[in-house]
Amino acid sequence: MKKWMFFCAVLSVCAAGAATFVDVTGVGVEKKHFTIGVTGAGAEAYAKTLRRNLELTGCFAAGEPAALKITGAIGGTVTATGLGKSLSVPTPAGDEKALRMAARRMSDAICGALTDQVGFACDRVSFISRKGPSNSELCVCYPDGQDVRTVTADGKAAVGPRWKDADTLFYTGFLNGGPQVWELNTATGKRNLRWSFKGLATGAAISPDGAYAAIILSFQGNPELYVIDLAANKWRRLTNTPMASEGQPTWSPDGRRIVYVSDETRHPQLYVIDVATKAKRRVTSKGSQNVDPDWGPDGRVAYITKRGGVSQVAVMDPDAGDAAAMLVTEPGSWEHPSWSRDRRHLVAGRDKALFVVDTLPKDKGGDAPRQMFMANGNWITPSWSR
């Protein structure tokens, strides 16, 4: 693939309420039915959000006969009982936004108490609202698709948001003409310019320990993979491919390796490089192109594979390579999968919209992709905090 195809997007552009758990055990992947009978001011907004988030986990489905009953009152305590277990969470009164947040906390508490998965309802998804080739803004929302918030209003191109921690994003912005890497606190709105290099600067992905950034830079001529020490602000070059381009780095969970895209063979494929030794190896070969990798918390890599002219989300063990890859969506215009902390779900883009994708096979209880929200626009390049 030609170099410009990697970089066209660049160049064209939960705290309140302690929970009490009793007899915590997992319930496996079989869906358990639940009902919600919560009363009080704002109960409808609370119940709607709780239902949405419980169903997104893939472990629960609303309906009878209910194995799990959720009762109580807003302004008091909400209790989930069933499956031989009990969970009670204080639920203060508040406006609808506060009650949606309380419902997300309850969903995460139920998921943690009654399943073998961790909850993700309180995590956030960042993405780009693209309004034109040189006008796009950074946004965040929750996986249930509610409380969408635009966090930049620059009227300039912004690409590639990646989470550093629960509040902080790194992304490439064109506020001053060329691509620069910015650090943005989504809670306070405070933004700092981290790096401004000559040429390309994109894909800043922060290592699991928060000490390093993997980034693609071209200030030495060719787009190559670098690692930057965040404290010392010193960079180290990892690749040297003068006839190819690198892109889209993401770290392994232990921070020792990076998976990235390179078109060394004229077709974009995934490679894994050892950060200490710079030893690299190709890990994909099936399909005309393999791009958009995200290395998940359980060691699997999610990515986009193009086969027969259409794209699908795939998941693989990078040590086994794509010979053991599993396709987790039907063919379509899929792009940019990003893992949840639960090691089961992804957020990914398709047809200008965002979807929560269940990587569990349907014959084992997996769900079809669920669109996060319905709204006109071009919503792209999601990244899920974890």
One-letter amino acid of 365: G
Pairwise CA distance, residues 313 & 332, whole Å: 9
Tell me, yes or no, whether 144 lies in a domain: no
Angle between helix axes 96-114 and 43-56 (nearest 10 degrees) is 40
Tell me, yes or no, whether 347 lies in a domain: yes
Whether the CB-CB separation of 104 and 87 falls below 8 Å is answered with no
Pairwise CA distance, residues 143 & 123, whole Å: 7
Residue 336, domain CATH = 2.120.10.30
pTM of this structure? 0.91
Tell me, yes or no, whether 248 lies in a domain: no
Domain span holding position 310? 283-386
Residue-wise pLDDT tens digits, 138-149: 999 999 999 999
- Give the strand order in the sheet containing 269-274: 246-251, 257-262, 269-274, 280-282
Q: Answer with the one of 59, 80, 114 that is the final residue of a domain.
A: 114
Please report where in the chains the tokens 């994708």 appear, as a residue. Answer: 357
Residue-wise pLDDT tens digits, 119-133: 999 999 999 999 877
Q: What is the pLDDT of residue 26?
A: 37
Tell me, yes or no, whether 256 lies in a domain: no
Tell me, yes or no, whether 98 lies in a domain: yes
Residue-wise pLDDT tens digits, 146-168: 999 999 999 999 999 999 999 99
Whether the CB-CB separation of 168 and 184 falls below 8 Å is answered with yes
Q: Answer with the one of 83, 114, 145 that is the final residue of a domain.
A: 114
Contacts of 15 (CB under 8 A, 6+ apart): none
> From the CA atom positions of the chain, what is the Rg in Å?
21
Q: What is the pLDDT of residue 91?
A: 96
Contacts of 90 (CB under 8 A, 6+ apart): 16, 17, 18, 76, 77
Tell me, yes or no, whether 109 lies in a domain: yes
Three-state secondary-structure class, residue 3: helix
Q: How many domains does the chain have?
A: 2
Residue 43 main-chain phi, psi, to 5 deg: -60, -35
Please report where in the chains the tokens 């006109």 appear, as a residue. Answer: 376
- Look up residue 149 and give its two tokens: 């918030």
DSSP tally for the chain: helices H, then strands E: 3, 30
**Predicted confidence band at 27 (pLDDT cuts at 50, 70, 90)?**
very low
Pairwise CA distance, residues 101 & 182, whole Å: 28
Residue 43, domain CATH = 3.40.50
Residue-wise pLDDT tens digits, 70-92: 999 999 999 999 988 999 999 99
Tell me, yes or no, whether 329 lies in a domain: yes
Q: What is the pLDDT of residue 83?
A: 87
Tell me, yes or no, whether 110 lies in a domain: yes
Q: Nearest 5 degrees, angle CA 185-CA 219-CA 237?
A: 80
Greater confidence (25 vs 274) lies with: 274
Q: Answer with the one of 98, 114, 130 that is the final residue of a domain.
A: 114
Q: What is the pLDDT of residue 29?
A: 59
Name which of 347, 349, 351, 307 is nearest 325 in CA terms.
Answer: 307
Query: In this structure, are strands 135-141 and 85-91 parallel, antiparallel, or unpaired?
Result: unpaired
Mean pLDDT calculated for residue range 314-326: 95
